Amino acid sequence: MTNSNDMPLAAKPLDRAAHRRTDEAWLETAKQQDDVLFFLMRKGEPFVEKRGLFWMGPEARRLSPASPTVFMGEDKQGTPVFALNLPDAFDLDGSLIAGAGTFTEFRMAAGALADMEANLVSTARSVFLWHASHGHCAKCGGRVGIVDAGWKTQCPECGTEHFPRTDPVAIMLAVKDGKCLIGRQAMWPAGFMSCLAGFCEPGETIEQAAARELFEEAGITCDPASAEYVACQPWPFPSSLMVGLILEAENFEITLDKNEIDEARWITRAEAREIISGQHAELFCPPKMAIAHHILKTWALRDD
């Protein structure tokens, strides 16, 4: 059975120890203790070596003393873990970490990391990108300050608090009479097909969003009450929560919104199994790191 706790980028999370976030004295001491662990990010990319994330101790702060950190939590031994966000212009050559690893594109890096490390870099990426794009107060326009160990900002002018955003996205598979609907955007490679998806709007449930998006993008009518929850997955591009659903369709006729998707088709369960296993002659699907793969697989492996 598909389980959100086992989903890539979500599995094996660290204890976030949120009660530590407001204890400034504890946090400062933790950053200096010998067993503290830091991992490094730059422009949304983790710094990795052959074995996974490159880890540093308290000396990490010497790389860029003014750079922001986020307290990620504590491991099972109580070791504090921090993410350090280096400046975009940080010069690797001549630094303490020259030759130790590379800053690697997130998808490529995360797909090769252990579960807990993938969860850590996914979380850090979302938080740091949020800080980069939300440096001013949405209420008065003042410059905000980072508080709560990186998990909140507060405006010194009006006192308004701001928290990292998470955007819910319905990602869904419409099914009918032993077939499922898959589609592709124009920018995707030929043959690459996936589930349809769309953001949840204010005032609607995730099931209603799924039904609305299916109709808007492909002309497929579904009753939101038919929606079956599969799993969810944090997706840091920059801050989505992908909520996977399977819905019963009421029609087969496809009417595409070409502004959203370039192609959609119904496939059989046998074809879905071929796609999942990489044996389909024409079509292929997202890799295992993406929830779309697991939604399609959940339906494909059911009995006809």
| Domain that residue 46 falls in | 4-133
**What pLDDT is recorded for position 1?**
63
What distance in Å separates the CA atoms of residue 39 and residue 37, rounded to the nearest whole number? 7
Residues 124, 191: one domain? no
Residues 107, 46: one domain? yes
Look at residues 290, 207, 219, 206 and name the one whose alpha carbon lies nearest to residue 261. Answer: 219
Total domains present in the chain: 3
Residues 73, 14: one domain? yes
**What pLDDT is recorded for position 233?**
98
Residues 204, 224: one domain? yes
Residues 31, 143: one domain? no
What CATH number should be reported for the domain holding residue 13?
A: 3.90.79
Residues 143, 171: one domain? no
Residues 232, 129: one domain? no
Per-residue pLDDT tens listing for the chain (304 residues): 678 999 999 999 999 999 999 999 999 999 999 999 999 999 999 999 999 999 999 999 999 999 999 999 999 999 999 999 999 999 999 899 999 999 999 999 999 999 999 999 999 999 999 999 999 999 999 999 999 999 999 999 999 999 999 999 999 999 999 999 999 999 999 999 999 999 999 999 999 999 999 999 999 999 999 999 999 999 999 999 999 999 999 999 999 999 999 999 999 999 999 999 999 999 999 999 999 999 999 999 998 6
Residues 159, 188: one domain? no
Residues 245, 280: one domain? yes
Residues 67, 52: one domain? yes
What CATH number should be reported for the domain holding residue 269?
A: 3.90.79.10
Q: What is the pTM of this model?
A: 0.94
Residues 125, 28: one domain? yes
Residues 95, 183: one domain? no
**What pLDDT is recorded for position 2?**
77
